[in-house]
Structure 1
C-alpha cells in the first residue's frame, strides 16, 4: 500500500528546488537526503507547457488561431527528449523556508523540469514505515478507513484522510451523505482509537460537525 507523504508545488528559484505540500507528520524522515519517494502518477509525460517566450506566428492560420493538432511544448532533457516524470525521485536536500518545505531532487537541475513536476504526488510503501513507538501515536494510513463513532455508539461515518494543520492534526470525517467534517485529533475530542476494532471514538462538542 502506498502512503502519500507530499505533493510537489511550484518551483523555487532557478536551480530546480520545489515547494512540497507536506502530508506526513514526519517530514524530517520522509524527506531526508537519500530518501527515495515513489511518484503518482509515475513515468507519465508532463502536460505542463514550457515558457518558450515569444515566437514568430506560423504561416497558414490567421494570427491568433491555433494550428490543427498543435501540442503544447514540454520541458526537454539535454538530449532533446521530452521530460517524463520518473517513477521514483531521490531527495538530494530539503530545508524549511518561511514555513514551507523546499526540496531538491537528484537530476532536477532547472526551473523548467521543476515546473514539470508540479502536482506530482509523493509516496512511500507502508511496509517501509515502522509503527510509532508511542502507543498514543498513529500513522495516517492506520487511521484512514476506520469507522467514526460517538461515545454512545452512533456511527458518524469514516476517516477519509488526515490533515496536518499547524494547531493540531485533523481527522477528515466522511459522512454517509457524502459531506465532510473536520475533527481535531486531540484527546479531549478523540478519547479512543481502537485499531483492532476498526473504529475511532469521538466526543465532539455541540456544533462541531456542522461547521
Structure 2
C-alpha cells in the first residue's frame, strides 16, 4: 500500500480531542475528500482514522478523528505523520499533477539544456517552489508558476521550463575567485 505524507500532527486543540495539523497538501479539502487517514511515526505501522470534521484555525487545520475523544488521546498523536493512501487521492484535472509525481523528474530548458532533477518542494501560501538539484549538486529554487512551466510529461518523466531571464544564472554561475 503506497502511502503519502500529507501533514503532521502539531498538537492537541481544546479538550474534546481535536488535533491541530500542519498540512503539506495544496488543498485544505483533501481531508474531507479521502475516506480515511493514517497516522504513525517512522518505523511504526500507521493506524487508520476516519475524519469526522475539519476546519481552518489560525493558518492550520483542526481535525476531529473518530475514536479520539479527549485531550490526552489527542496528545498521544503529537508529532505523528498524517498519511493517505495514494489510491485514495482525489482525481486531478487533466492539466494538473500531484507534487509527489514530480519528484525525481528531469528538468530542462526549452532548447533541451539539462537543468537538473526535482528533489524537493517548498510550499508557502500562494507560492509553490521546486527545489531542483543540478548535475553538479547545486540547489536551485524555482518558482513553479504557470508562465514558467511549459510542459510536464509524466510518461517521459520530464519537465520543460522557461525561467525568468537570469534566474538560473544566479545559481549556476561559478564563483569568481
Q: TM bucket by the smaller chain? A: 0.7 to 0.9
- Supply the RMSD in Å over aligned alpha carbons: 2.7
* Aligned 1:37-116 pairs, distance under 5 A: 37-41=37-41, 44=44, 87-116=47-76
Structure 2 unaligned segments of length 5 or more: list them: 172-177
Higher RCO structure (Cα 8 Å, ≥6 apart): 1
Contact 1:146-1:199 within 8 A present in 2 as well: yes
Instruction: Report the Cα offset of residue 96 of structure 1.
Output: 0.6
Contact 2:39-2:46 within 8 A present in 1 as well: yes
Instruction: Report the Cα offset of residue 130 of structure 1.
Output: 4.4
Instruction: Report the Cα offset of residue 179 of structure 1.
Output: 4.7
After the TM superposition, list the runs of 4 or more consecutive aligned residues in structure 1 that deviate by more than 4 angstroms: none
Residue 99 of structure 2: which of 128, 140, 151 is its match?
140
Question: Are 2:36 and 1:5 aligned?
Answer: no
Structure 1, residues 6-34: CA drift from partner, whole Å, max 9, x if none?
Answer: 11112222222121111222331x31188
Contact 2:35-2:88 within 8 A present in 1 as well: no
Distance 1:130 1:34, change over 3 A: closer
In structure 2, the residue matched to 1:122 is: 82
In structure 2, the residue matched to 1:190 is: 149
Instruction: Report the Cα offset of residue 170 of structure 1.
Output: 2.1
Structure 1, residues 162-201: CA drift from partner, whole Å, max 9, x if none?
Answer: 4332122222323344453332221221111111211111
- Report the TM-score when normalising by structure 1: 0.68
Instruction: Report the Cα offset of residue 86 of structure 1.
Output: 5.3
In structure 2, the residue matched to 1:51 is: none
Distance 1:178 1:8, change over 3 A: farther
2-structure distance, mates of 1:36, 1:120: 15
- Report the TM-score when normalising by structure 2: 0.79
Instruction: Report the Cα offset of residue 102 of structure 1.
Output: 0.9
In structure 1, the residue matched to 2:167 is: 207
Structure 1 unaligned segments of length 5 or more: list them: 45-84
The number of equivalent residue pairs is: 169
